[in-house]
Amino acid sequence: MNRESVKIGVVGCGAVGSFYGLMLKQAGEDVHFHLRSNYEDVKKEGFSLIQQSRGGEINKIKNASIYRNTNEIGVCDWVMIATKTTAKSDIPDLIAPMVGEKTSFLTLQNGMGNVESLAEAFGKDRLVVGGLCFTCINRINPSTIKSLLPGYVQFGQIGSTLLPEANRIVDRFENAGVKVIRANSLDDALWRKLCWNIPFNGLCIVGGGITTDLILSSSVLRGRAENLMQEIQSAAKEYGVLIEDSFLEKQFSLTQPMGPYKPSSLIDFFAGKPIEIDSIWGEPLRRGQKKGVLMPELEKLYSELKQGTG
Read off the pLDDT of residues 48-61 as tens digits, 9 standing for 90 and up.
999 988 888 899 99
Assigned domain for 1 exists: no
Sign of CA dihedral 162, 135, 210, 255: positive
* Phi then psi dihedrals of residue 43, to 5 deg: -60, -40
Task: Show which of 184, 214, 231 is a domain's final residue.
Answer: 184
The pLDDT of residue 2 is: 47
Of the listed ranges 53-57, 198-202, 286-290, the least confidently predicted one is: 53-57
Pair (152, 238) in one structural domain: no
Pair (170, 243) in one structural domain: no
Q: How confident is the model at residue 44 (pLDDT cuts 50, 70, 90)?
A: very high
Euclidean distance between CA atoms 164 and 295, whole angstroms: 38
Pair (263, 297) in one structural domain: yes
Read off the pLDDT of residues 105-132 as tens digits, 9 standing for 90 and up.
999 999 998 999 999 999 989 999 999 9
Pair (251, 264) in one structural domain: yes
Pair (150, 272) in one structural domain: no
Pair (30, 154) in one structural domain: yes
Read off the pLDDT of residues 204-213 as tens digits, 9 standing for 90 and up.
999 999 999 9
Read off the pLDDT of residues 220-238 as tens digits, 9 standing for 90 and up.
999 999 999 999 999 999 9
Task: Show which of 162, 184, 206 is a domain's final residue.
Answer: 184
Average pLDDT of span 240-256:
95
Domain that holds residue 260: 188-309
Given a cut of 90, whether residue 5 has pLDDT beyond it is: no
Euclidean distance between CA atoms 11 and 95, whole angstroms: 8
Assigned domain for 11 exists: yes
Nearest to 192 by CA among 258, 151, 243, 149: 243
Q: How confident is the model at residue 3 (pLDDT cuts 50, 70, 90)?
A: low
The pLDDT of residue 1 is: 40
The pLDDT of residue 238 is: 97
Pair (179, 193) in one structural domain: no
Pair (14, 46) in one structural domain: yes
Pair (28, 134) in one structural domain: yes
Pair (167, 284) in one structural domain: no
Question: How much is the pTM?
Answer: 0.86
Number of folded domains that form the chain: 2
The pLDDT of residue 86 is: 86
Pair (97, 202) in one structural domain: no
Pair (161, 216) in one structural domain: no
